[in-house]
Structure 1
Amino acid sequence: MSSNQGYIVKQYSMPIKRYCQTLSLKNNPALLAEYRKVHSKSEAWPEIRKGIRSVGILEMEMYILGSQVFMIIETPINFDWETAMNKLAHLPKQEEWENYVSRFQECVPGSTSAEKWKLMERMFYLYE
């Protein structure tokens, strides 16, 4: 589905909450293409996908515009961000993954995911 047709959102049988984050990538066309590739379904490391789910994350989506990436994370209502991010940082292969993708990212080498990705503040929604 293309961006001008929208994206289907998964429905859950429980209340969920959403976190939004952003990250800057190096503005290099070859690196941007490779970053997209390593996040594709066929290339993403299965251990990383499994680890994300193991800390309680229900869904994670990433969107890109130029060298800016935006991530949406959906979790159960009782999800604790700090606890989950600490657990994620210590899972097998996670540090290796973070070091691997850091070559694409504007970040300090050796940073954890929680240090690289910046939580965003919601400033608008259609109030009910």
Structure 2
Amino acid sequence: MEQKRFCKALKLEDDPQLIEAYKKVHAPGAAWPEITQGMRDVGIVDMEIYLLGTQLFMIMDTVPDFDHDSAMKELATKPRQSEWEAYVSRFQKTSAEASADEKWQLMERIYKMGL
């Protein structure tokens, strides 16, 4: 069984300084280690975030038996997770109280190139 992939979107505030700061907190080695470990603990194998203007696009690869809803609930309880979400919310068009699952909206795949 192969990994699962989830794609998500989120908008940033339309402020070039905030966008640059958001990029810095996601630079290699800048994300808090507890956040990365929490993601690994719930079955997220790899994650990439892309930016176009104020639009963020996330690609999240997970273990084959990953259950998105239960994993996101578990992730919200991990060390420093709510603190991280409050911290990055100042860059995002969202509230400081929102969990990652409430902020990042799952996208619908409408095309996949065949082999």
Please classify the TM superposition score into its range, dividing by the shorter chain length. Answer: over 0.9
Report the Cα offset of residue 64 of structure 1. 0.5
Work out which of the residue numbers 19, 37, 59 in structure 2 matches 1:72: 59
Instruction: After TM superposition, give the deviation of residue 41 of structure 1 in Å.
Output: 1.5
Selected match of 2:100 from 105, 108, 113:
113
Aligned residue pairs, count: 115
4+ residue segments displaced more than 3 Å: none
* Residue number among 69, 72, 75 corresponding to 1:82 in the alignment: 69
Higher relative contact order (CA 8 A, sep 6+): 2
CA shift for structure 1 position 77: 1.7
Three-state SS of the structure 2 residue aligned to 1:69 is: strand
Q: Secondary structure of 2:4's match?
A: strand
The 3-state SS of whatever aligns with 2:44 is: coil
- In the other structure, the counterpart of 1:20 is 7
The TM-score, its normalising length taken from structure 1, stands at 0.86
Residues 96-105 or 38-47, more deviating: 38-47
Q: Aligned equivalents of 1:109 and 1:62: distance in 2?
A: 20
Return the alpha-carbon distance in structure 1 between the equivalents of residues 86 and 95 of structure 2.
Answer: 10
- Corresponding residue SS for 1:115: helix
| SS in structure 2 at match of 1:92 | coil
TM-superposed CA distance for 1:42, in Å, is 2.8
Q: Which has the larger radius of gyration?
A: 1
Structure 1: distance between partners of 2:29 and 2:105: 27
Q: Work out the percentage of aligned pairs sharing the same amino acid.
A: 49
Runs of 5+ unmatched residues, structure 2: none
Q: 2:52, 2:90 → 1: CA distance? A: 18
RMSD: 1.0
Between the aligned partners of 1:48 and 1:118, the Cα distance in structure 2 is 19
